[in-house]
Amino acid sequence: MTPTAHLTRLKLNPMSTEAARDLRNAHSLHRTVLTLAPDHLGESPRQAAGILFRLEHHPRGQTLLIQSHHPLNLDHLPIGYATATDERDLTPLLTWCQPGSPVRYRIHAQPMRSTRTENPERDEKGSLKRGRRTPLHGDEATHWWHERATAAGLTPHTDTTSTAPQPDIAGWKDDPDHDGKRIRIRGRVTRFEGTATITDTTPLHTALTTGIGRGRAFGTGLLSIAPLTRI
């Protein structure tokens, strides 16, 4: 069965205090986006609502793209938050996807590798701590993306792949385990664009509706595609 998806596009108002706040703090933006989803979605409302989002920076301002399983309630946006809104049902696009079809894609992602030490420590819950994460750049970042794209049911046309650094994800949130303590949020973001051929719709549908890589709660991992013949 083909999954459902809905895309909401918000052109942020540069005069909005709330929008400016969200641009400064990734966790604040995360919370604003979640207010648009239905209530009572359990402990993981973002995953339950299928929410992924991407903040695109342009010379004249910022556009926020939000993907979800179903239409969002834009009445929950702060007054004056956006100067324009647009909504689109992506389900026909998901139905269109077939092996052999050429597409154009875009994604903001956090390419990195994790290096585990010889004697890894355990956290307070007894789980092994992750190794040191190192952001990837240049050819290493491109290789990382090509591996993820292949696993997502795409064969990238390597001669069309372009990369561009994006503003870092930055912000903070309260530490749920320590009163009065904050957790810093930070991530290096790279935009990948290019063309590819669909090879397998099952992993592609999964990647399109659940995202790719780290930082999906804070604006990376949303894979967007369009039929190449329509570009």
Q: What is the pLDDT of residue 104?
A: 98
The list of the chain residues with pLDDT below 70 reads 116-131, 230-231
Instruction: Supply 126's token pair.
Output: 């007894």
pLDDT given at position 118: 63
**What single DSSP character describes residue 64?**
E
Q: Are 170 and 183 in contact (CB under 8 A)?
A: no
**Given this model, what pLDDT does residue 22 score?**
98
Same fold? 6-90, 93-115+132-230 = yes
* 78 in Cβ contact with 21 (< 8 Å): no
Write down the pLDDT at residue 131. Answer: 66
CATH number of this structure's domain 6-90, picked from the four choices 3.30.70.1200, 3.40.50.620, 3.50.50.60, 3.40.50.10190: 3.30.70.1200
Joined tokens for residue 210: 């659940």
Ramachandran assignment for 42, one of left (phi > 0), alpha (psi -120 to 50 degrees), beta (any other): left
Cα 101 from chain centroid (whole Å): 23
What does the buried/exposed string (b/e) look like for 158-172 if buried means 16 or more CB atoms within 10 Å of the residue's CB?
Answer: eeebebeebeebebe
Query: What per-residue confidence (pLDDT) applies to 176?
Result: 75
Could you tell me if 50 and 68 are in contact, meaning their C-beta atoms sit under 8 angstroms apart? yes
How much is the pLDDT for 231? 42
Q: In terms of CATH architecture, what is 93-115+132-230?
A: 2-Layer Sandwich (3.30)
Residues shown for the chain = 231
pLDDT at 120: 64
Give residue 114's pLDDT: 80
According to the model, what pLDDT value does residue 94 have?
Answer: 97
Burial (CB < 10 A; 0-12, 13-18, 19+), residue 140, is middle
Element (H, E) at 204: helix 201-210
Parse the chain into domains and list their residue ranges: 6-90, 93-115+132-230
Give the distance, in angstroms, between the CA of residue 197 and the centroid of all CA atoms in the same chain. 21
